[in-house]
Structure 1
C-alpha cells in the first residue's frame, strides 16, 4: 500500500527552484519512499550500506562523478560528510535544478554540513510521520482517537502488519544504537533511555530541567543537552511561550511534545488503546497529537512552526497560540473529553477579554463528534480541524 504524502507537492516545487533538495525528518517517517516516488528516474544510493559508504568515504570525487549527468538520490547523506564539499563544486558547475536529492534522519549532523557547504544552494523539506489528514485521504479512518494515540502515525504501522509495541521497541533500539552512539554527548545509552521515558511522562507539560535531570540522575546542563538531541533528531518538539505580553507575569519555560503520539504512549508503558481511556496521561497524549497535526500541516507545505502557548502566573493558559505573521493570534484549547463542558471555555474567555479576540476565531478541539459554534468560541471534533488549518 502506497500512502500519498502532502509534502510531495512542496518537494516538487523545491526541486524546480534549487539544484539540490534535502528531505530531513525522524527515522522511518517516509523520506525514502517519498523521494523515490516523486523522482523515480533519478538513481538511488544508500549510504548506510557498508560497501557504498566505504566507496564514498575513500573516493568521494569518483563516487559523485558517476552521478554528474543523472543526479542522484543520496539516502542518509550525513554518514559521509566529506561528500558535501565535492557536491558543492558539481552543483556550482551546472545550471540544472533538482539533480541531487539528499535525505537524512540526523538533523544535528546533516544541517551542520549543509550550512557549511551548501547554504543557498539547497532547498530543505522537513517530513514528520503521517498526519491524520493524510491517513483520511488515503482511506484510513480510526474509530476512536485513542486508536491514533496508541498506534501512532509512522507509515509502516499502516502499510505492514505489525504490532505497535513491537514496532516502537525496535524503533527505540535503532535510534539509541545507530544514531546516538555516534554522538559524544551520550556515553550512557541506558541512562539516556531512562531520560527518554521521563520525557514521555511529561508530554504536554512545561519543561522543568532541574526536575527532569533529578529524576534521571543527571545535572541540569545534561538534561538541556539531551533534550536538544531529542529535538534535533525529531523525536520531540518544543512549543515556546509567545513573546507578546498581554500580562507581564508569564511562565517562560517551553512545553514538551512528541512528534508521534504512539512513540510517547509506548514509552509511557501503554500497550493497548483501551489502556488510554482512563490513563492519567490521556490529556497530554491528546494534546501532543492535535498540536502535532498543526505542526505537520505547516511543515508539509514548507513553512516553519508558528505555534506558541501562553500561561500566566495565575494559572490561566492557552494550549496553543497560532501566530499569523504577527497580525493575529488564534487561541486553541485541547480537551480529551467527549462531552462539552463549561470548564472548556474558562481560559478562552479570559484570553479573549485580555486580547480582544473574537469568539468565531477562537477554538476548542475536543474528543467528541459535534461541531458547534458557542458564544465563547468554535468547538471542533478532533478529526475535523479544517477551520483551524485555514488559519495556519
Structure 2
C-alpha cells in the first residue's frame, strides 16, 4: 500500500524546472519509495550494490553511459565524485537545449541519507542545476491520508481549517508518539523491536562507520540512547559527554552526525544584541518519536504517557510535526523556528518568525493552564510586531485564553 506524501506536489513542480532533483533525509523515511512511485519510467540504481558503487567510483562516465537517462541514483553519498560527472552531463544538455530552443528535461534524481554531506556536495557541485528536497518520516496528515499544508500560527487561518480537525485525546496522541512515523513500520506494523534494532544497526554500519572509528560504534549506540533521553532539552555537551565517557569535542562531533543523518534537529535560541541575558545554548529534538521512544526503552505507550518524560515527548512530537509541515512545502526552518530562554528561567517553547513578526507558542501536554502565556510579553524587548500567541495542547478546538493567546489543538498542525 502506498501512502502519498505531501512533498509530492513540490517534487512535481521542481521536476519541470530542474534537470536534477536531490532528495536527502534519515534512513527509512520513504525517499526511494516516493520517487519510484512518482517516476515509474525512470531507471533505478542503488550504490548500495558493490558492483555499481565500484564502477561509479572508478569510472563515473562509464557508469552514467551504462544507465542512460532519466535515472534515479540511490545512496548518492557513497560516491560523491559522481556529482561532477552529472554536472558535466547536465551542462551539455542545457547547451543543446539552448541551441535547439527547447527545455532541458529532468535527467537525474539523486537520493541519500547523509543530510549534511549530500546538501554540501550538491550545493557546491550542482549549484543551480539541482533542487534540494529534505524528506522526513510520515507526518500525522500523511498517516491519515489527508492533504496537509504548512503550519502557520495565524488564528484566522487555524479557525478556517478547524472543520477538518480530528479531535484526539491525550491517550490517542501518546499512542501516535509511541509509534512514530517511519513509513515501513507504520504501514506494515512489523515487530517493533526487530524493526528499530535493524534500523539502528543499519544506520551504524552504513552511515556512522564512515565517520567514526568502527571500534567506537558501541559507544555511539550508547550515545544515541543518552541523547534520546534528553530530547526537547537544551544541549549540554559536557554533561552528555560525561554520561557516555567521551569529551565535549567528541560529543559535538557526534551530535553533528545525528543532525547530518536527519535523526535529530537543532533549535536555536532567538536573540539579538538587545539582550545580554539570553541563554545561547540550542535545544535538541528527535525527528521521529517512535525511534526516540525505542532508544529510551519505553515498551508501552501507556507507560510513556505516565512517565516523567511525557512532557518532553509531547513537546518533541509537536515541534517535529511543525518542522515536517514546513519542510514538506520544500522550505527550510533555520530562519523560521526558534525558542527563548534567559537566565531568569523565563522561557517560550517556540517562536515562529514570519515577515519580521513574532508568533509565540507554548506547548502543554494537557489542557493549557490559565497563565500558560505568562512569558509571551518578554518578547516585547525586541521591538518587533508580536501576533496573538498559541498554547498547543490537547484541547478540542481553537478558542481564546485571552486577547493575547489562543488554545490550539495539537491536531491542527499540518492541516
Under a length normalisation based on structure 1, what TM-score does the superposition of the two structures give?
A: 0.91
Q: Residue 26 of structure 2: SS of its match in structure 1?
A: coil
1:327-342 matches, cutoff 5 A: 327-337=356-366, 339-342=367-370
User: Is contact 2:274-2:381 (8 Å) kept?
Assistant: no
Note closer, same or farther for the CA distance 1:353–1:245 as it changes in structure 2 (3 Å cut).
Answer: closer
Aligned partners of 2:328 and 2:189: how far apart in 1?
26
Q: Secondary structure at the match of 1:26?
A: coil
Partner of 2:53: 53
Structure 2 residue matching 1:73: 3-state secondary structure = strand
- Determine the structure 2 residue equivalent to 1:43: 43
For the residue of structure 2 that corresponds to 1:241, the secondary structure is coil
SS class of match (1:129)? coil
- Does structure 1 conserve the Cα–Cα contact (< 8 Å) formed by 2:180 and 2:186? no
Indicate the RMSD between aligned Cα atoms, in angstroms. 2.1
Question: CA contact under 8 A between 2:351 and 2:360: conserved in structure 1?
Answer: yes
Residue 137 of structure 1 is matched in structure 2 by 145
CA–CA distance in structure 1, aligned partners of residues 359 and 213 of structure 2: 38
CA distance in 2, matches of 1:377, 1:355: 19
* Alpha-carbon distance between aligned partners in 2 of 1:333 and 1:271, rounded to the nearest angstrom: 28
Can you list the C-alpha shifts for 1:127-161, whole angstroms capped at 9, x where unaligned? 0001112222359x877110111000111122213
Which structure 1 residue ranges, 5 or more long, are not aligned?
Answer: none
Alpha-carbon separation, structure 2, partners of 1:128 and 1:297: 10
Question: How many angstroms apart in 2 are the aligned matches of 1:186 and 1:225?
Answer: 15
The CA deviation string for residues 157-189 of structure 1, in whole angstroms up to 9 with x for no partner, is 222131333322211111111111111466401
Check if 1:372 corresponds to 2:399: yes
Cα distance, 1:350 vs structure 2:
4.8
Residue in structure 2 matched with residue 92 of structure 1 by the alignment: 91
Conserved? CA contact 1:206–1:253, under 8 Å: yes
1:123 alignment counterpart: 131
Looking at structure 1, the residues matched to 220 and 371 of structure 2 have their Cα atoms a distance apart, in angstroms, of 38
Select 1:277's aligned residue among 305, 313, 328: 305
Classify the secondary structure of the residue corresponding to 1:9.
Answer: helix
Q: Distance in 2 between matches of 1:354 and 1:53?
A: 52
Distance in 1 of aligned mates of 2:214 and 2:257: 9
Q: 1:324 aligns with which of 340, 354, 370?
A: 354
Q: 2:323 aligns with which of 277, 295, 306?
A: 295
Is residue 150–residue 164 contact of structure 1 (8 Å, CA) maintained in 2?
A: no
**Which sits farther off after the overlay, 237-246 or 89-98?**
237-246
TM-score, structure 2 length as denominator?
A: 0.86
Report the count of equivalent residues: 382
Q: Which has the higher contact order (CA 8 A, sep 6+)?
A: 2
TM-superposition CA deviations, 1:278-299 (whole Å, max 9, x none): 1111111111111111111111
Asked if structure 2 preserves the Cα contact closer than 8 Å seen for 1:246 and 1:355, the reply is no
Relative to structure 1, the CA distance from residue 48 to residue 370 in structure 2 (aligned partners, 3 Å threshold; closer, same or farther) is same
Q: Determine the C-alpha separation between the residues in 1 that align with 2:115 and 2:373.
A: 39
Residues 1:103 and 2:111 are matched in the alignment: yes
Alignment of 1:146-295 (within 5 A): 146-184=174-212, 187-244=215-272, 247-295=275-323
Deviation at 1:107, TM superposition (A): 2.2
Cα distance change on mapping 1:352 and 1:146 into 2, 3 Å: farther
Q: Given the superposition, is the C-alpha separation of residues 330 and 99 from structure 1 closer, same or farther in structure 2, using an over 3 Å criterion?
A: same
Separation in 1, partners of 2:313, 2:90: 44
Cα distance in 2 between the residues matched to 1:364 and 1:171: 35
Partners of 2:12 and 2:397 in 1: how far apart?
37
Shift of 1:352: 6.2
